[in-house]
């Protein structure tokens, strides 16, 4: 089930973000991610619209939107490859007519995921915090493109 995040979800969201970041970004030292926790909490929780995918009363993934920017989409490593990320992205697409996202170039899995979901590369740059090369991608919804959510249903 996809639902709006509640204050009680903050710790679970933080854990999902950290575990998934450590796994997906193994080309960046783990210490970087541990140090980014406070910044992540300060950036996402007060400013973003956050929805979680919950199954068996456990937050298994989340998506965070700040205006049309896809600030975060993370799934617990032990819950990946189950369609949760796709369901969360489909939900985000239903909330906005266009989305942008920034990804590390070395995160091939994420880059391919977004390209396969209709995003296109706009430009390349460098992340100021990590010094890593990154891609800026964008998605624009066609007027008849209303994706369905098959795994997690919104309530």
List the domains of the chain with CATH numbers. 2-140 (3.40.630.30)
Which among 54, 72, 42 has a CA at the least distance from the CA of 5?
54
| Prediction pTM value | 0.86
Tell me if 25 sits within 8 A of 110, measured CB to CB: no
Q: Residue 59 is inside which H or E element, if any?
A: strand 58-66
List pLDDT tens digits, range 112-140: 999 999 999 999 999 998 999 999 999 99
Q: What are phi and psi of 10, to 5 degrees?
A: -55, -45
SS3 71: strand
List pLDDT tens digits, range 41-86: 887 778 899 999 999 889 999 999 999 999 999 999 999 999 999 9
Q: What are phi and psi of 140, to 5 degrees?
A: -125, 125
Name the pLDDT band for 154 (thresholds 50, 70, 90): very low
């Amino acid at each position: 089930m996809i639902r709006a995040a509640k204050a009680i979800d903050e710790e679970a969201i933080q854990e999902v973000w950290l575990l998934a970041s450590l796994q997906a970004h193994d080309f960046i030292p783990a210490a970087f991610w541990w140090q980014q926790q406070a910044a992540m909490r300060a950036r996402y929780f007060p400013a973003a619209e956050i929805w979680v995918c919950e199954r068996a009363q456990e937050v298994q993934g989340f998506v965070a939107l700040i205006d049309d920017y896809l600030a975060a989409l993370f799934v617990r490593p032990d819950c990946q490859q189950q369609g949760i990320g796709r369901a969360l992205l489909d939900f985000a697409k239903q909330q906005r007519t266009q989305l942008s996202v920034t990804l590390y170039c070395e995160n091939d899995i994420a880059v391919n995921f977004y390209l396969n979901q209709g995003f296109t590369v706009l430009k390349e740059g460098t992340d100021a915090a990590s010094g890593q090369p990154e891609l800026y991608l964008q998605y624009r919804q066609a007027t008849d493109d209303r994706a369905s959510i098959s795994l997690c249903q919104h309530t």
